[in-house]
Amino acid sequence: MAKRRIRLGVSMIGLGYHLAAWRHPDAPAGGNMELPHFVRVTQAAERGLFDMAFLADGVGIRFHDEPKGALCRTSKNVQFEPLTLLSALAMVTRRVGLVATASTTYNEPYHVARKFASLDHISGGRAGWNVVTSVTDMEARNFNRDKAPGYDVRYDRAAEFVEVVRGLWESWEDDVFVRDKESGINYRPEGLHVLDHQGPHFQVKGPLNVARTPQGAPVIVQAGASDQGRELAAATADVVYAAAQTLADAQAYYRDVKGRMARYGRDPDHLKIMPGLMAVPGRTRQEAQDRYEALQQRVDPLVGLAALANYLGDLSGYDLDGPVPEPPNRRMHSRAQIFLDIARRGNLTIRQLYLSIAGGNGHRLVIGTPADIADAMEEWFHQDAADGFNILPPWLPGGLEDVVDMVVPELQRRGLFRTAYEGMTLRENLGVAPATHRRAEARKRAAMAAALGSAAQ
Amino acid sequence: MAKRRIRLGVSMIGLGYHLAAWRHPDAPAGGNMELPHFVRVTQAAERGLFDMAFLADGVGIRFHDEPKGALCRTSKNVQFEPLTLLSALAMVTRRVGLVATASTTYNEPYHVARKFASLDHISGGRAGWNVVTSVTDMEARNFNRDKAPGYDVRYDRAAEFVEVVRGLWESWEDDVFVRDKESGINYRPEGLHVLDHQGPHFQVKGPLNVARTPQGAPVIVQAGASDQGRELAAATADVVYAAAQTLADAQAYYRDVKGRMARYGRDPDHLKIMPGLMAVPGRTRQEAQDRYEALQQRVDPLVGLAALANYLGDLSGYDLDGPVPEPPNRRMHSRAQIFLDIARRGNLTIRQLYLSIAGGNGHRLVIGTPADIADAMEEWFHQDAADGFNILPPWLPGGLEDVVDMVVPELQRRGLFRTAYEGMTLRENLGVAPATHRRAEARKRAAMAAALGSAAQ
């Protein structure tokens, strides 16, 4: 059995995860809509032997203009659509996994199944789908609604959505296409399966009009913070992007989600839990700190307040240097509680709170030497808190290139990280379960039973 | 003023347009799901200086298994999803336009607007959207329905859908992003426009979360055969892919659609009408004919009947070598009438009818020397029947490469076709109107009026 190793993903959000990323002196300020920027970022991830490069997404502007004037001070309002961008990036990379976010709230499973299957073919088996629900009213208003559906409806729909997509990915058996030019038979009819799904949210007949993909099924990624989210992850996910600030929180999450897998007959090792980690390395601790401070100093108070407003409501009526009040208009999102915990733990002012989440948006932040960062990873990795990490570079491409050039070699020296890709597909590199074809297996079992029955006669 | 020249597109449908394409001796029989096949095809189109490469699409299996056994004898059941495939192909081409089909029937305008805007950014201004409605019940059953909506509903929705998408493409002005790192201002707020569309089918607030694209707006392509389709094309399309067998029919169509444009204040030259043309060149007429016959001989009768069944219903109960009956279960599709006209005009048997449409599916077919094919194009081009042609290669990539290597040089010799791309974007190469930004113009007019008013005081 191969040694357990840390998995790494990177979140390629525009010019970086930090609120002030676009103001970094080295940032290509228009890069969030420039292809060469993303080519460079993805190629850096591949040079660093990362398992995957990840694109977050929203189906609408991602910030309220709350307080007013904040929106025009952020760069995250425009971006490439993830599936088109990753299809392009598949052509300039060979091994790194390509994970796109697609919402289950305003999409149709047939479209989503097709597009990810297509990306998996294009990339030679490197596609992953980050399954999310759309929580903001801003997004709802782009899809014939005034408000987002409630939590239960969103998760109920999401669970059925994933079930339909996975079913559609089993439309065609792997070896169904005989393509016999002489006889004119293109495929064996018994290897085509009609899904005929009838559920509360979806009626989808199938079959999918895309052949079985190189991975069998693209990798399923989820965030899974809430109770239903955790259950969905335990049932269906190959990877979870978690958010935790402390070792204890991360361990509790890890134990809980892996513990839920048994009831679905799944091996806990087949779900990789990868908390977000903003890692800021420097040759010295001071250099690392200076790099981070250069960004912190560029956080406009309006933008800081807007980042809080996304979860806690607009706090602009309060004293920036006073305590964080009980939020007047708190959003129903797991991140809201994380923010409040941070504020209460450190007894922070509003300004201190937004500065403390300006980088990682509630994710863990480690600033230090490559050894410091490797220590931080190793601790969580060896103490049942993480199987790997979703790296959140404060700015791009530099913030990722620093991790690749400084932290990855340190992890490799410690034997914690690969020195070459193990496989061709994302599933192989992650070490998650190969995709089974339940319908093909059932058919073959039935055919074998019939053959044995007739042989026994 | 530049000389009027023929526009060329190519339909990259899988292994070719002919029913037996996948059985052609030179066809890569699995190529419809292999990326290198499409790379080769698109690069051939670019080598031939084609305006655009076009991907048809359906959101479901495209053939009935009617008569039974036909489906497994066709190769067109699986394909790449167009937007992902064209995003990948954008990376291995530099000038050829990339046109994807996306249906207005089971999509949301916000998703479609984003994806084409993203493709336009990825390709540097080469994206086109072929606007269709989804007519088959097979597709409806993948989207919570038993039957496709009726004609009027589909077209009404399509017209509003296009309006919303075009509005979303005007969310951001071209020069809105100042990205001033010092002041922290990323964009000028007055250059962001909220659509706030409220219509019978869609309520879409906007803005789009993709910046204004290199073309301003991707090129709009339509088929526009029916009355409402023609009206929609006259109102909004840059390109029409028409279908006509005879010069008279093509002229009547051309005159009608261009005549409808005045009421929308549009210049008739800004809509390029490009009928489908299956061109089969050979060094001699006999060689061309032999090439075509090699495919015709490979049409399985079941597959031929299935091609008719798509429009005329299942004729398998009739004598293949008897006359074409009045169809028992005719589909509501403009192609049904074209098929019947062909049958009546030639007094064809069922077998003769399916063989006559096995290649071009009702589109014009020209088999001959490069001069013959150039003559056929020139006649329609000079007699107000066409601005160009959508080439339907019977098989791929060979059928396209023959046109590129034999017909294109002949057209160039006659001065009918470009010898180098004129521009960088698809709009520039097609010679259609630049995309205006109506909202930006209105804002700037108002600002200028205000300035003049205050100067006059």
Residue A452 lies in a domain: no
Instruction: Supply the range of the domain harboring residue A182.
Output: 7-298+363-445
Same domain, A206 and A323: no
- Tell me, what's the ipTM? 0.96
d(CA A331, CA A325): 15
% residues pLDDT > 90 (chain A): 85
Query: Which CATH number does the domain housing residue A209 bear?
Result: 3.20.20.30
Confidence of residue B335 (pLDDT cuts 50, 70, 90): confident
Q: With contact defined as beta carbons under 8 Å apart, do B100 and B57 qualify?
A: yes
Q: What's the pTM?
A: 0.96
Residue in the block written with tokens 């930004």 = B437
In this structure, are residues A8 and A388 in contact, taking their beta carbons and an 8 Å threshold? yes
In a domain, residue A29? The reply is yes
- What's the average model confidence in pLDDT over B378-404? 97
pLDDT tens-place string over residues A396-432: 999 999 999 999 999 999 999 999 999 999 999 999 9
pLDDT of residue A454: 75
What's residue A380's pLDDT? 98
Assess if residue B390 is contained within a domain: yes
Residue A314 and residue A337 in one domain: yes
Q: Closest-CA residue in chain B for A208?
A: B60
Same domain (yes/no): B393, B261: yes
pLDDT at res. B337: 84
Q: What percent of chain B has pLDDT over 70?
A: 97
Do B196 and B323 lie in one domain? The reply is: no
How much is the average pLDDT of B309-337?
84
**Domain-located, residue A348:** yes
Evaluate whether residue B114 is within a structural domain. Answer: yes
Of A84, A138, A172, the CB nearest to B78: A172
Q: Structural domain tally of chain A? A: 2
pLDDT in tens, A198-225: 999 999 999 999 999 999 999 999 987 8
Q: Which residues contact A270 (CB under 8 A, 6 or more apart)?
A: A238, A261, A432, A433
Residue B2: the pLDDT is: 65
B423 and B337 in one domain? no
Instruction: Name A328's Cβ contacts closer than 8 Å, sequence gap at least 6.
Output: A313, A314, A315
Where does A213-349 have alpha helices with state H?
A: 227-236, 247-259, 285-296, 301-312, 334-346
Q: Alpha-carbon torsion B417, B420, B423, B424, what sign?
A: positive
More confident residue, B419 or A457: B419
Q: What whole-number distance in Å separates Cα of residue A16 and Cα of residue A137?
A: 25
Q: Mean of the per-residue pLDDT values for chain B?
A: 94
Shared domain for B214 and B84, answered yes or no, is: yes
The shortest CB-CB distance from A118 to any of B22, B84, B119 is to B84
Of all residues in chain A, what percent carry a pLDDT higher than 70? Answer: 97
Residue A34 has pLDDT above 90, yes or no: yes
Q: For residue B292, is pLDDT > 80? A: yes
Size of interface A-B (CB pairs under 8 A): 206
Q: What is the pLDDT of residue B329?
A: 67
**Chain-chain contact of A84 with B84 (C-beta, under 8 angstroms):** yes
| B59 to chain A, closest Cα gap in Å | 8
End-to-end Cα, chain B, rounded Å: 44
Q: What are the tens digits of pLDDT across the range B221-262?
A: 998 788 888 999 999 999 999 888 899 999 999 999 999 999
Report CB contact under 8 Å: B122, A88.
yes
Q: Is residue B1 predicted with pLDDT exceeding 60?
A: no
| Closest approach of B349 to chain A, Cα-based (Å) | 23
CB-CB contact of B218 with B129 (8 Å): yes
Q: Is residue B450 domain-resident?
A: no
pLDDT category at A310 given cuts 50, 70, 90 is: confident
Would you state the pLDDT for residue A452? Answer: 85
Cβ contacts of B268 within 8 Å, gap of 6 or more? B258, B259, B261, B262
Which has more confidence, B32 or B456?
Answer: B32
Shared domain check, B323 and B269? no
pLDDT band at residue A335 under the 50/70/90 scheme = confident
Question: Which residues of chain A are within 8 Å of residue B145 when distances are taken between CB atoms?
Answer: 203
Residues A236 and A319 in one domain: no
Average model confidence (pLDDT) across chain A: 94
Q: Are residues A351 and A415 in the same domain?
A: no
Cβ contacts (< 8 Å) between A90 and chain B: which residues?
88
CB contact under 8 A, A78 and B211: yes
Element (H, E) at A179: strand A177-180
User: Please, which pLDDT band fits residue B22 given cuts at 50, 70 and 90?
Assistant: very high
Q: Do B22 and A179 touch (CB under 8 A)?
A: yes
Residue of higher predicted confidence among B13 and A367: A367
